[in-house]
């Protein structure tokens, strides 16, 4: 890794211009759930906040498509049923009435050419979900209009003028008591404190100058990628449609990365018109498929897998493919220890980490992390 001064020079970072910093201004880098939740809680407390997001939309791994009677999750489906942090956030935003329960938690495995009902929690265990043992088999919760209802409410609370998309940060530096955020277009923002709500790799790049040791730890953090494909069929295309919430594919499907299938219309009410069925196929990309396969190839493999495990005629009417590269942190004991140490060190610099890179994978962990960080900052 380059020395901080060398890297700063290469990035063109200078501190010649005077900087005026509000004593209460907080800049949040990253407009995923954790970043938006921190911003909303600080806004409720009357703090001056600014949210910067490199992507063209806010929401991060929550991305809900709504159209013509359809609610299609391109990102997170929901949150663990035991969660207290997400319902608390919904109450704060006044949308707790939209919380919905999973209709069925029955999950099947494809064995010897038939569907075998699995014991509660067995599917999550086989798939390696990072949830506490006591959560296995309890399913998930969501919101009536999809998880995007949560980010919509957060954005409404924060205010559009305080959330700037396509404004990616490339480095953090210090100038006296101020933290400077160098943006991709060469401009700068300043803050009395920074909330770092970026994914691990992006966070590592941002910290390379001001916290090189913590940057190196994040750059080496284990991450997984995920691809999902939503397929819309007419219900009449299926000769026998399972009654449960989904199934897991056998090991023989693993050569193309197929892992599980969610029967969305059996999982939550109101996601599709009555004459339709919505299925979501999940891949853990193998080899170079994440880069070498286009969306049409993933959709074709997903539809082929559905035809192999269910009796269906014809092709799906529509397909939506969503890719999440290096998006899922793996919280091994070593990574947990490194993340905790980095968290403590960064707080001393006025940088407050939040979200999946530091405080645990999943929607519940993101909401809990945001509440913790906002409380540290006086919300």
CB environment 291-316: b (16+ within 10 A), e (fewer):
eebeeeebbebbbebbeebbebeeeb
How confident is the model over 3-49, as pLDDT tens digits?
Answer: 433 333 333 333 333 333 455 789 999 999 999 999 999 999 999 99
- Using a pLDDT cut of 90, give the percent of the chain over it: 70
How confident is the model over 193-233, as pLDDT tens digits?
Answer: 999 999 989 999 999 999 999 999 888 888 889 999 999 99
Q: Look at residues 313, 377, 297, 329 and name the one whose alpha carbon lies nearest to residue 220.
A: 329
Residue 371 CA to residue 77 CA, distance in Å, equals: 21
Does the structure show a pLDDT above 70 at 136? no
Query: Can you give the pLDDT at residue 238?
Result: 96
Which residues are registered as beta bridge partners of 276? 234
Mean pLDDT of 283-300: 95
Instruction: Check if the beta carbon of residue 251 is closer than 8 Å to that of residue 237.
Output: no
Query: Can you give the pLDDT at residue 42?
Result: 96
Does the structure show a pLDDT above 90 at 92? yes
Query: Can you give the pLDDT at residue 173?
Result: 92
Instruction: Check if the beta carbon of residue 96 is closer than 8 Å to that of residue 103.
Output: no
Residue 289 CB coordination number (10 Å): 17
Query: Can you give the pLDDT at residue 130?
Result: 59
Mean pLDDT of 343-347: 93
Does the structure show a pLDDT above 50 at 167? yes
Which position has the higher pLDDT, 135 or 258?
258
Does the structure show a pLDDT above 90 at 278? yes
Query: Can you give the pLDDT at residue 336?
Result: 84
Mean pLDDT of 167-192: 91
Residue 162 CA to residue 153 CA, distance in Å, equals: 14
Strands (E) in 118-165, as ranges, are: 140-143, 163-164
Strands (E) in 286-377, as ranges, are: 318-329, 351-353
Query: Can you give the pLDDT at residue 24?
Result: 73
Alpha-carbon 10 to chain mean position: 32
Query: Can you give the pLDDT at residue 69?
Result: 92
Residue 60 CA to residue 323 CA, distance in Å, equals: 12
Query: Can you give the pLDDT at residue 2?
Result: 37
Does the structure show a pLDDT above 90 at 57? yes
Mean of pLDDT over the chain: 89
Residue 164 sits at φ, ψ, to 5 deg, of: -115, 110
Which domains does the chain show, CATH number per domain?
4-59+150-221+331-376 (3.50.50.60), 103-138+223-329 (3.90.660.20)
Mean pLDDT of 64-89: 95
Query: Can you give the pLDDT at residue 378?
Result: 86
Does the structure show a pLDDT above 90 at 361? no
Query: Can you give the pLDDT at residue 47?
Result: 93
Query: Can you give the pLDDT at residue 131?
Result: 59
How confident is the model over 141-164, as pLDDT tens digits?
Answer: 999 999 999 999 999 999 999 999
- Using a pLDDT cut of 70, give the percent of the chain over it: 91
Residue 135 CA to residue 139 CA, distance in Å, equals: 8
Which residues are registered as beta bridge partners of 178? 175
Does the structure show a pLDDT above 90 at 305? yes
Specify the range with the lowest mean pLDDT, choosing from 106-115, 122-131, 273-282, 290-299: 122-131
């Amino acid at each position: 890794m380059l020395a901080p001064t060398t890297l700063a020079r290469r990035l063109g970072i200078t501190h010649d211009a005077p900087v005026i910093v509000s004593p209460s201004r907080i800049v949040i880098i990253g407009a995923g759930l954790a970043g938006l939740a921190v911003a909303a809680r600080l806004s409720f407390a009357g703090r001056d906040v600014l949210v910067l997001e490199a992507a063209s939309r806010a929401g991060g791994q929550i991305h809900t498509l709504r159209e013509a009677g359809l609610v299609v999750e391109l990102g997170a489906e929901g949150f663990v049923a035991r969660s207290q942090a997400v319902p608390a956030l919904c109450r704060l935003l006044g949308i707790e009435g939209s919380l919905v329960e999973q209709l069925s938690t029955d999950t099947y495995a494809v064995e010897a050419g038939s569907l075998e009902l699995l014991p509660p929690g067995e599917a999550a265990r086989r798939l390696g979900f990072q949830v506490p043992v006591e959560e296995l088999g309890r399913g998930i919760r969501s919101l009536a209009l999809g998880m995007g209802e949560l980010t919509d409410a957060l954005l409404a609370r924060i205010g559009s003028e305080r959330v700037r998309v396509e404004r990616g940060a490339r480095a953090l530096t210090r100038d006296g008591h101020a933290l400077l955020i160098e943006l991709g277009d060469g401009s700068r923002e300043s803050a009395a404190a920074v909330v770092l709500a970026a994914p691990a790799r992006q966070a590592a790049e941002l910290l390379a100058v001001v916290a090189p040791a913590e940057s190196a730890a994040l750059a080496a953090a284990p991450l997984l990628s995920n691809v999902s494909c939503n397929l819309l069929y007419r219900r009449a295309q299926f000769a026998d449609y399972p009654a449960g919430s989904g199934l897991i594919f056998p090991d023989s499907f693993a050569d193309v990365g197929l892992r599980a299938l969610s029967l969305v219309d059996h999982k939550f009410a109101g996601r599709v018109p009555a004459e339709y069925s919505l299925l979501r196929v999940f891949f853990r990309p193998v080899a170079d498929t994440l880069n070498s396969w286009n969306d049409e190839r993933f959709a074709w493999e997903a539809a082929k897998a559905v035809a192999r495990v269910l009796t269906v005629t014809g092709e799906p009417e529509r397909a939506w493919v969503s890719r999440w590269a290096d998006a899922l942190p793996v919280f091994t004991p070593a990574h947990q220890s490194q993340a905790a140490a980095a968290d403590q060190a960064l707080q001393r610099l006025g940088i407050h980490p939040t979200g999946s890179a530091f405080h645990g994978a999943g929607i519940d962990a993101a909401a809990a992390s945001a509440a913790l960080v906002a409380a540290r900052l006086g919300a």
